[in-house]
Every structure is written in C-alpha cells, then in structure tokens.
Structure 1
Amino acid sequence: MERQFLAAVCFSALIAIWSRVNAAAIPNSCPLPPQLKAKYDFDWKLKNGEKQNLIAKVAYLKLVLSWSPTYCESLSATARNKQFQCRNSDSFGLIVHGLWPQAAKPAAINDHPRNCQDDKQLNATLVKRFYCMMPDEYLMQAEWEKHGSCHYATANDYFTTIEKFYKSLNIPNIRSMKNSTQANIRRAFLQMAQF
C-alpha cells in the first residue's frame, strides 16, 4: 500500500509539472455516435497469446495516452471507417488508451496484473459519460476487464479515476505542430515540464 501511495504522489507531481500555461485544454464535450455498438464485450480467452495474472501485486498505475489522428492514419480505409473517432478525427486528439496497474519488476508483459475479472458489457450511460476521453466502446470494455478490474472494485471507480488524472493534464497544443511525430510530442511535454 505504501508503494501505491508513493506512486500516486509521484504521478501527482508529474501532473503538477505538466499543468502549465500554453497548453491545450482537455475537451469537456465531443460528438457521440448516434448509436453505440450492439456488442462490445471483451473476452481475453479469445485473444491469441493473452494471459491472466491474478497474483501480481500492483506497485503503481500507468496512464497510457494515444494521439488519435496518428492511430487513425495507421488504419486501412475500411478499418478507419469503422472507428467513430476516425470519422470525426478533428474532434479527438490526445485520448486515453487505459490506466494500467503495473508490477514493480516484471520480466515480461504478462507479469503485470491482467484480465482479473470477466465482466458483463458496460452500460451505455457509463460509456457515453467517458466517451470524450476514450472514444470507443470496445476499448473501454477491454481496458476495464484487462486492467481496471485488477485494481478497482467497479468500472465506475476505474473510469472516474482515469477522468480525474486525464482532466488534470494540460496537453501541449499538438495540432499546431508542423510535424507531430512521437519525438516532437514527447519533446513538447518535456519542455512544458522545465522550470
């Protein structure tokens, strides 16, 4: 528990450093799909190479972000048209991929806590509430079951915690960059952290 507290303090310190002027705000609203997907449940047993780890101790939490435009560009046209965030690519920038409980010294990815609970499909109200930060029903379901269920009692607790971390970030204005490569985005974050 002491390690979790220390990790939370370190994460809070990073957030405080990142929270500076000249940053783009996190959007409070975004377009929602006219209708959610009918089925977006996640079953790790159907995923090739996916494992369950119920015994790994959580040492810290890792907030994982994704730049939506680059993700969308990486998809084929057919796959892109199936992703709501890609059809509305001007509406989504830096989004949450997940909040991952992490083990202290893993030798491999499957040494982290993962796939702790198979849960029913998230309800539509919860999905819509957090859609702006995580714009895909299946992603939300998978991240809850694969990662969140290993540390949080409920999906609502998991997504509320993510929202708190996400909204406390001030993001560099990535859209105004002439060349928004991974290296340039990382550099922009580091420049914001300089005193």
Structure 2
Amino acid sequence: MTNNRLRCLIISISIGLIVLFIVGAIIYLARQSERKTIDYDACPRPKQFATDYDFDYTKKTNEYRNTNSSIDYFRLSLSWSPTFCKTQNGKNLFQCQHSFGFVVHGLWPSTFKKGSSSHSHPRNCRNEKPMPIEIIR
C-alpha cells in the first residue's frame, strides 16, 4: 500500500511539474511574440537616400551589360566595416561613422565559366527598377 501511495505521489508531482513547465513556456512564447517596435534611429538611412533613388548607369563610363551569360549561382558579397573604414581616410562617412559590423554589399549573379573576367558575369543593371525606400533599413 505504501508503494502505491508513493508511486501516485511521484506521478502527481511529475504531472504537476510538466503542466507548470508547459504553462510557463506558453507565457514566455506569448511575451516573445508581442510585436516589438523598431527603433529606426538605431540604424538611420543615409541622407542621400532620403528620397527614392536609382543607379544611374549613364554616369558611369565603364558600365557594361551582359545578358547572354548564364546565372550559375549567387555570390553573397559582404564587407567588414572596421577594416574597410581603416582604408577610407574620411570617405564613405555614413558607413564609417556608425558602429556597423558586416555590411551586405549585394547578392550578385555569377557564372562558373573558367577564366572568366568580371565582364563575363551576368549583368543588366539598366533594367532594374529602384528598390522602394521603405525597404531600405
């Protein structure tokens, strides 16, 4: 009889702890999923992006277009701000005046062609529509 009471007590305590754990997890997840406000001042936009913008390929003398190359993969291009800013001597002030770590330069279409120069990679900046300014954050 004593073994049955002990067994029932252990089972009751175990079930109680499991229920308590589940309720605690639900409360924790509910608080985590509350909509958080974004502090836009923590990552301000550069002043030159205060209005819509676009890349003006006509102002670049070395701008080229390559629509015949295949896209074999996309290359993620990152820069590490602390090292980049050491070499800038006052240029690129927006990036260098803030405490950025990695900065995404782009996700660039690339090709596997052997011995390929940068001109053999797929490129067609002239037909790109500008990114909505609301997305840039």
Normalised TM-score (structure 2): 0.57
Give, in angstroms, the shift of residue 59 of structure 1: 0.9
- Flag as ranges the 4+ runs of structure 1 deviating above 4 A: none
2:83 matched to 1:70?
A: yes
Identify the match of residue 33 of structure 1 among 45, 49, 66: 45
Normalised TM-score (structure 1): 0.42
2:117 matched to 1:105?
A: no
* Within-5 A mapping of 1:79-90: 79-80=91-92, 83-88=93-98, 90=99
Contact kept? 1:68, 1:95, Cα under 8 Å: yes
Residues 1:119 and 1:34: Cα distance change in structure 2 (over 3 Å): closer
Give, in angstroms, the shift of residue 47 of structure 1: 1.6
CA-based RMSD: 2.6
Alpha-carbon deviations, 1:51-99, whole Å to 9, x = none? 100111111111111001222222232x24xx322111x2x10121111
Aligned to 2:136: 127
CA distance in 1, matches of 2:71, 2:53: 27
Give, in angstroms, the shift of residue 39 of structure 1: 6.0
Q: Is there any run of 5+ residues in structure 2 with no aligned partner, and where?
A: 1-37
Secondary structure at the aligned position of 2:127 is classed as coil
Contact kept? 1:43, 1:118, Cα under 8 Å: no
Q: How many residues align?
A: 96
- Work out the percentage of aligned pairs sharing the same amino acid: 36
Give, in angstroms, the shift of residue 101 of structure 1: 0.9
Contact kept? 1:54, 1:113, Cα under 8 Å: yes
Alpha-carbon deviations, 1:132-190, whole Å to 9, x = none? xxxxxxxxxxxxxxxxxxxxxxxxxxxxxxxxxxxxxxxxxxxxxxxxxxxxxxxxxxx
Give the number of the structure whose alpha-carbon radius of gyration is greater: 2
Residues 1:59 and 1:93: Cα distance change in structure 2 (over 3 Å): same
* Within-5 A mapping of 1:107-186: 107-128=116-137
